[in-house]
Amino acid sequence: MDPNLLPLITCPHHPTVTLTVEQIEHANDGTIERGYLRCPHCTRRYPITEGILDVLGTQWPTSIAQLVNELPPAAWAYERTWRPLALSLLSGEQFPLERELNLITELAGVERGGLIIDVGCSNGLYARALAHACRHHGANGFVVGIDLSRPMLREARIRARAQKLNISFIRASAQALPFADSSANVLVMGGSLNEIGDIAAALAEWRRLITPDGRGVLMSLAAAPTSGGRLLQSLLSTGGLQFPTITELNRAFADAGLYVRDQWQYGIVVFSVVQVFDEMA
């Protein structure tokens, strides 16, 4: 974890309260590998282990989909097998990772720098692309990857370090992000909206964190248009996955205080760029 990020991290239970450093047990190459942060308001103690801050503690997965992500083999295999093929299979056209990542980084506008958060980062695919884009543009700021799954975060950190990218990783809930109001210039999410559980609460956090001139960029999966696709999605929903229609998705944005600036659909794959309603004018 980048120690320069620490002044921006707040207690997930008290978002107006910045966490304080209780102890740094080990640091290496300018990153904190092991230590503890504490909330001065509620005195909760949050460990940093293997360079990953954990503000969740003993919170466990609430669905089969989330449970699968806790399995180390799933974390190891995610980018090595499924992810490179995912959008081509789901969109019905050639959609390689390079095309997806170029689209995400362009829409995110990382050249402005600031706090950039990949929510539900899995192996950190978007986080790495954003960090590379920041380096290319000479943008100052922080890239942070957040996920529920420690195995996913471990794999994400290994991949980031292999590419010499300065990305901090935090184990946290999408419904309780450990940052202050209006602190994030960019939030991104790649497919995790379909499995995070309470979508309304997660989008409310986006509304809370995005700066007035910031933006959120999401890749999510919509309800299938065919009876066979709907049957498959119905089966997957028993494991905790959700597939809202475009209308339902956009209603969720609006209910959270976000408006859709741009949106594209390729098969069931939907890319959305959202901003806070204050900027609608």
Domains of the chain plus CATH, in order, are: 1-51 (no CATH), 56-276 (3.40.50.150)
| Rounded percentage of the chain residues whose pLDDT exceeds 70 | 99
The predicted-structure confidence for 18-49, as pLDDT tens digits, reads as follows: 999 999 999 888 899 999 999 999 999 999 99
The predicted model scores a pTM of: 0.94
**What's the rounded Cα separation, in Å, for the pair 39 and 20?**
6
Kindly list the distances between the CA atom of residue 185 and the CA atoms of 71, 181, 194, 245, 263, in Å, as whole numbers in the listed order.
Answer: 32, 11, 23, 27, 19
Cα-based distances in Å from 39 to 54, 55, 85, 135, 177? 13, 11, 42, 32, 14
pLDDT digits 0-9 by tens, 207-232 = 999 999 999 999 999 999 999 899 99
Flag whether pLDDT at 50 surpasses 90. Answer: yes
Output the pLDDT for position 278.
67
Tokens found for residue 85: 């093929």
Position 280 confidence tier, pLDDT thresholds 50, 70, 90:
very low
